[in-house]
A and B are shown apart, each in its own frame.
Chain A
């Protein structure tokens, strides 16, 4: 059962309603599917196609373009070590080498216990804090080999469970638009003239 569950269907419909066209919700919905199952399953993609009104092939087409979506199970913790210029200049290569030894897998591999997937990543927008890594998209800055070992041990012992959710969950806070406050999606065709406040007078 890897279609969206009832709670997520409700969230999905809420997200879809914000967009002028349902297909726009596809990437947020793929995240939702990945959040539920840890990776994006074929059944989920079929389901999303039904929800937004496109074929599952189109969902697959979109999903495979983006790096964050995984189509096979990955470790509970995805460790992305940045290797782009600033990090490389500051020793990201050494860090990756150490990480491979510590985890006993090569970059791209998953540990036998299914806890960790190690991966190379591109620039993570934390260049002044190089070398950096992300565990399930949570940052660690200026990472030394010792820091890395501590991080892995803490993750194993469950010490960081509050801070770092399992793979699939990115943001833990969702936008909620209260029904009485939202304007609603403004689709092409819905508006045929300038918005009310463009009448040349002050709005307040």
Chain B
């Protein structure tokens, strides 16, 4: 990758150095210890109610705990939003052993939450893993942390060493008949490994390429072909609080379909970018972008041009969608997704084609190469878009982008409604010709950028006067 995209982006406005996380005056489920400077130590963890959820869980039959998680509807926080309790129930009854794989390979553009949870409260995650293993009868746990996250790896390793020594992990936990090992595993830099079947491939020591589903649904046929539960870090971090306070207290926060809280990172052109734990389902994008307790508005009080509502893979929204709540059942029909809780904001000074190129480049670069439409399509999308951004693209190039995109995602592609343009929303999700979402993700942001801001792309095109190649030329006069 070269420095091209940055040169034509807006100049940076620097904010005073601040911690990414902003506590605020809201109910806290997963970030309750973040205020303490030593939140990652076992001493602080135990002094603030740590491992109480585990103790409480072990005092009840495993099936009860599973039911409790089911009735709390703890939604998966990795992107797909599938309820964790239901996921655990999908494993076949009579196949053993079953495994837990923790997905800490956070790398979706804009997403910044799992790293905080691992760095600042690793014991909470460990406790969550233990509760999950206990409830779902899982025999071994593998905690997969993204390779580039050195501090998270150190904090989790230290926490595991402390927890083993204190008898919270390993053989006969707390003197009970519950025994499970948590093995720290770490990656080496590959975005696609965040996809659950690719994560399993990587954990088996292979190239991290996604497997075909069916037959490789991890719940039935996962790690070493055994039933495997893959859960996101934030999902598991919810469990200790849930055990202590019960599912009723959990569902009392948020809405019926999106209970509890959720970690959201808002970055880009806002006054105070930050990571927040918000109430699920009711907080709107307007609250997040303009609310005084959140980002406090767009930088320099500029106008909002567009924003990415749920990670780099999501189609973009504009000011028309600001009043949508953080609720999957409303964001989907509006033409995008909540994904991994990452909002990236673009103000009126943003160069839209260049911004789209950063994402198209990302997905083209991160394609694992297994599916042709993604490997070739993603690369071509990047090349063609680069031409347009550089000012050497033609009208045919713009058309070509849409044609290449249609080979990755055939049919109607989701996008948001836009009053000014008279656009009606096309609901999420899309159809795809690839195994996983990396391929379509190369096209999703680009498609919505072209749909919503076509004139900006067209302004970049070279207007060529056509020169006929096989010209009917007048023969030289000497032959006449």
- B354-380 interface mask toward A, CB cutoff 8 Å, 1 = contact, 0 = none? 110011001001101000000000000
A52, B205: Cβ atoms closer than 8 Å: yes
**CB within 8 A of A175: which of B4, B161, B206, B350?**
B161
Tell me the bound Cα distance from A177 to B169 in angstroms.
10
A88, B112: Cβ atoms closer than 8 Å: no
From B78-86, B184-192, B330-338, B414-422, the one touching the partner chain is B184-192
Tell me the bound Cα distance from A160 to B354 in angstroms.
36
**CB within 8 A of A62: which of B139, B154, B180, B206?**
B206
Determine the chain A residues whose CB is within 8 A of the CB of B13 once the complex forms. 90
Determine the chain A residues whose CB is within 8 A of the CB of B185 once the complex forms. 24, 27-28
Determine the chain A residues whose CB is within 8 A of the CB of B112 once the complex forms. 125-128
Please tell me if B411 contacts chain A, counting CB pairs below 8 Å. no
Min CB–CB distance A144 → chain B (angstroms): 6
B12, A90: Cβ atoms closer than 8 Å: yes
Q: Which residue of B lies closest to A171 (CB)?
A: B153
A123, B109: Cβ atoms closer than 8 Å: yes
Q: Which residue of A lies closest to B204 (CB)?
A: A24
Please tell me if A122 contacts chain B, counting CB pairs below 8 Å. yes
Determine the chain B residues whose CB is within 8 A of the CB of A130 once the complex forms. 267-268, 273
- B269-293 interface mask toward A, CB cutoff 8 Å, 1 = contact, 0 = none? 1000111000000000000000000
A123 in contact with B107 given A68-B147, A107-B2, A193-B96 (CB within 8 Å): yes
Please tell me if A196 contacts chain B, counting CB pairs below 8 Å. yes
Q: Is the interface on chain B under 10, 10 to 19, 20 to 34, or 35 or more residues?
A: 35 or more
B225, A188: Cβ atoms closer than 8 Å: yes
Most buried by B among A61, A96, A127: A127
Tell me the bound Cα distance from A194 to B188 in angstroms.
34
Please tell me if B6 contacts chain A, counting CB pairs below 8 Å. yes
Q: For chain B, residues 105 to 150, give those with C-beta under 8 angstroms from any C-beta of chain A.
A: 106-112, 114-115, 134, 137-140, 146-150
Please tell me if A18 contacts chain B, counting CB pairs below 8 Å. yes
B165, A181: Cβ atoms closer than 8 Å: yes
Please tell me if A93 contacts chain B, counting CB pairs below 8 Å. yes
Q: Which residues of B are at the interface with A, using a C-beta cutoff of 8 A? A: 1-15, 17, 20, 55, 58-63, 96-97, 106-112, 114-115, 134, 137-140, 146-151, 153-154, 157-158, 160-161, 164-165, 167, 169-171, 173-181, 183-191, 202-208, 224-226, 265-269, 273-275, 308, 312, 342, 344, 346, 350, 354-355, 358-359, 362, 365-366, 368
Q: Which residues of A are at the interface with B, using a C-beta cutoff of 8 A? A: 18-21, 23-28, 30-31, 52, 54, 61-62, 65-69, 80, 83-86, 88-97, 100, 107, 120-131, 134, 136-139, 141-142, 144, 170-178, 180-188, 190-198, 200-204
